[in-house]
Amino acid sequence: MSLNSLGQSDLKVSAVSFGCMSLDVQRAESEKILQRAFEQEINFFDTADLYQKGENEVLVGRALKSIRKEVILATKVGNQWRTDGSGWDWNPTKAYILKAVEQSLRRLQTDYIDLYQLHGGTIDDPIDDTIEAFELLKAQGKIRWYGISSIRPNVISEYVKRSNIVSVMMQYSLLDHRPEEELLDKLKTAQIGVITRGTLAQGRLIGEKEDAYLHYSVAEVREAADAIRLLADQLSVEKIAVALAYVLNHPAVCSVVTGIRTDKQLDDAIYALRKSLSLSALQHKQLRSKVNTFIYDQHR
């Protein structure tokens, strides 16, 4: 199976990757699901210190410890849990990042993180301070590369201009094609890799859920899902292969993070990875024609 280079980094990631957020950290089977994913050629695992108050990182670290050097581990930082456990606050300061990374390293049972991502961001952040923290961690060897997880055009633009990020994680699907309008080409030109999330629109694009989404009505969501289904039938493939192929069609996209909690979800992700479906320009255009264009109306 071929791997994709993540931006200008030396990280080689599977086109379909494992989103760990929804894993049940209390279930022993979760470790087996992670291990089986690697056995089936998924090598990129994405978690965050925020998920289950760090217990998600504990699970991922324990499950992948024996194959640590063979996998790409990505985690995120910036959301600080309150001491009373009532919620979290945004904290992108250098001091906090340097403290938080040590906790993530301990939970993940590793001495380095392959991809450390800022888990959000606003235009009012101390951006240079944040970048300085990531650069220091890279120089210390505690992280190999860093990126940002954001859908805010103004924040992404600042990091493209001012930092050495190698990736941007963003929501992107047929039902949320905003990245096509202004971000994907810009990131490709800057040689920054795109990691997508939400590519199934929480199951709506493959018929698992039928309700309104973003500014789309139930009828409009149904029309998009029907277009996915019809093309899948024509190509004799499963719907998930078409939904993921839609976003992988753009050369900026390096990997699709698929949320996996169950064996069935893992089987679907493996199927899409192995199918490695490519859409023609005409097929992509036909799908895109089924949804109305909209753009980011905030964070300009």
Residue 299 lies in a domain: no
> For residue range 224-252, what is the model confidence (pLDDT) as tens digits?
999 999 999 999 999 999 999 999 999 99
Residue 82 lies in a domain: yes
Do the Cβ atoms of 272 and 246 come closer than 8 Å? no
What totals of helices (H) and strands (E) does the chain contain, helices first?
11, 12
Dihedral sign, CA of 237, 194, 214, 54? Answer: positive
Residues acting as catalytic residues: 51
CATH number of 21's domain: 3.20.20.100
Do the Cβ atoms of 45 and 17 come closer than 8 Å? yes
Looking only at the bridges linking them, the beta strands covering 12-13 and 4-5 are antiparallel
* pLDDT tens for the chain, residues 1 to 300: 679 999 999 999 999 999 999 999 999 899 999 999 999 999 999 999 999 999 999 999 999 999 999 999 999 999 998 888 889 999 999 999 999 999 999 999 999 999 999 999 999 999 999 999 999 999 999 999 999 999 999 999 999 999 999 999 999 999 999 999 899 999 999 999 999 999 999 999 999 999 999 999 999 999 999 999 999 999 999 999 999 999 999 999 999 999 999 999 999 999 999 999 999 999 999 999 999 999 998 998
Residue 295 lies in a domain: no
Please give the Cα distance from 99 to 102 (Å, whole number): 6
Round to the nearest angstrom and report the end-to-end CA distance of the chain: 39
pTM, full prediction: 0.96
Single-letter residue type at 198: G
Residue 292 lies in a domain: no
Domain span at residue 30 reads 4-202+247-277
Angle of CA points 245, 186, 118, to nearest 5°: 85
Q: Which of 81, 27, 28, 22 is nearest to 54 (CA)?
A: 81
Residue 239 lies in a domain: no
Structural domain count, the chain: 1
Residue 90 lies in a domain: yes
Residue 234 lies in a domain: no
